[in-house]
Amino acid sequence: MNVRQKKMELIEAMNRARALEPSSFVPNKLLDTLIEKMNLKNDAELCRVLEVQPPIISKIRHRKLAVGATILLRMHEKSDISIRELKDLSTASMH
């Protein structure tokens, strides 16, 4: 299998994984709530507090990356918001 075929398979796998994501995933509400409750100014400050690179928060905000266990735990540790509440914020309905 050549490099191009491997790349195509990886892209297809990523697209299948995205299709399985819950449609109720609302990262903006989660990130905006964290920024508000932690009295931060913007995503850049949130990145510094969570000790993650800015592209991570950007990808989460643009629904290109799900909130994984590691970052969820870090959000909990830094904000004192329960993991249950953080998960609820990320899956809240848009009503």
Contacts 24+ apart (CB under 8 A), 61-67: 61/27, 61/28, 61/31, 62/27, 63/21, 63/25, 63/27, 66/21, 66/25, 67/27, 67/30
Looking at every residue in the chain, the average pLDDT score rounds to: 85
pLDDT at 95 over 60: no
pLDDT tens for each residue of 34-74: 999 999 999 999 999 999 999 999 999 988 888 888 999 99
- What does the DSSP assignment read for 45-57? HHHHHHT--HHHH
pLDDT tens for each residue of 5-45: 888 888 887 776 665 555 567 789 999 999 999 999 999 99
Enumerate domains of the chain plus CATH numbers. 3-90 (1.10.260.40)
Confidence (pTM): 0.70
Residues in the chain: 95
